[in-house]
Structure 1
């Protein structure tokens, strides 16, 4: 099987798998494994999409992609059948790769600026409390709790949340948000958000982004339930979700993701996937990613 066909088959496979994986409930049992699977699936999908265009553009050379690309860039004699159409397809592949890198860089710069401004505002309006070290309290009647990620991550709760929740429920909420900060879930979400911004009309990209956002919240729920009672977290989540307050741009709120699905998962208290199953799934993801890399790099 030549490179073009191999990359195209892998691209179709990744595309077909997106919706079933997004609907799968077994992924909820081990959110961190699910997040890694989605990351590898997205990387494979992007590499194959770029690789197909590059492979088609270089197909007249009849050689592997790195060698053919080196010949093309090195000014070697063009083979018979190498037309302007091949050049257009080849340049399109490079433009796709450049666009993805640019979208990722712009999303990072944009979110860093937003968070910097938000931190400046918090420095003026938020306060600290000795009973909640490392947490900023925002005097606001609505029930709000969110994490502002970054190298200096900050967890913010409103005075309304402190009044509406018991101390144990507050601790569960803080454990949830601290997981976002500790595991840098903002970096997990960033590539999917960048791809969604670059390709807003492709519904599958939105499906991937929404599935990962839900798993990120489930992962934070999972860690919070280790420190606090699952019932406390479920009660706190229900109360906070009633305010329907959207967290500010650049932040990750406790009510992000499908709240009903998360509550169902907490109430069900399913056991994690067996270790062997998780290892096999991750091994399959590694094999999937290695497919386009074997043609694009080797």
Structure 2
């Protein structure tokens, strides 16, 4: 039972780790590392939870998960009692739900982007002041990226062109191109689908919020490689004052109407405080360990 117990303990531990990481502020100083930790925790939770259920289901075979499955198939589950069958069905059910919801989230986002691209082809225009960018004739402040496999589109509103000066606008466009280049939309998909599976669990919503903020900070960091950080900081403050609406479904916007994340982003742009090398090394080492540990426990005898 060692493997199943360790997998159950690991599943509980990842939930505790998610609570701590959702409240952590050091990740703001290294957003890419924070995103990698979130991805490792999410993967580890799913694999460990399914593994704990499978491990309990396969206890009668006393060979662990990896070597117990052939025995299960060979004797058609003849040795399993009702609790073990229930655990097996729960493991299969959880796997199916997670996979189906992820596919559903992908299909929904793809459809939303297709509709929005079709709409943009009708209502947007090109402007020589912002080459390579689509402009919407709308007085409100808006700037967002429509990610894509073959081509991404960066969209700004006429209100944004009037709101920002040339340097601030260039910083905002660099931020949006960073979203497109690093495919941050793919990072968000598993967490968004997990919220669809567990909509009533507050921790899942906090996890998604934390990852969304880290993604914005990662795009800020890439943008300031090309533009002075103060330009993006002032642009974010102008956006916050203009109270922009939420970005369209399936897109990634430069700013939200929530003041707290905007001020956190502005503060780190103005006064950067990167994580020290020892802490960065330790966190970087933790990522592969957290992500792969459940797989090793799958082959541990029970």
Quickly name the TM-score band, shorter chain normalised. Answer: over 0.9
- 2:142 matched to which residue of 1? 144
Indicate conservation of the 8 Å contact 1:100/1:198, yes or no. Answer: yes
CA distance in 1, matches of 2:136, 2:298: 50
- 2:164 matched to which residue of 1? 165
Indicate conservation of the 8 Å contact 2:64/2:299, yes or no. Answer: no
Corresponding residue SS for 1:250: coil
Query: CA shift at 1:275, angstroms?
Result: 4.1
Where in structure 2 are the equivalents of 1:75-114 lying within 5 Å? 75=75, 78-79=78-79, 82-114=80-112
- 1:260 matched to which residue of 2? 263
CA distance in 1, matches of 2:134, 2:251: 14
CA distance in 2, matches of 1:99, 1:11: 17
CA distance in 2, matches of 1:122, 1:107: 22
- 1:13 matched to which residue of 2? 13
Regions of 4+ moved over 4 Å = none
1:289 partnered with 2:291: yes
Compute the RMSD of aligned alpha carbons.
1.6
Query: CA shift at 1:276, angstroms?
Result: 4.4
- 1:200 matched to which residue of 2? 199
Q: Which moved more, 1:248-257 or 1:166-175?
A: 248-257
Corresponding residue SS for 2:148: coil
CA distance in 1, matches of 2:299, 2:102: 22
Which structure 2 segments of 5+ residues have no match? none
Indicate conservation of the 8 Å contact 1:18/1:207, yes or no. Answer: no
Corresponding residue SS for 2:58: helix
- 1:216 matched to which residue of 2? 215
Select 2:115's aligned residue among 114, 117, 136: 117
- 2:238 matched to which residue of 1? 239
- 1:40 matched to which residue of 2? 40
Corresponding residue SS for 1:269: coil
CA distance in 1, matches of 2:57, 2:105: 30
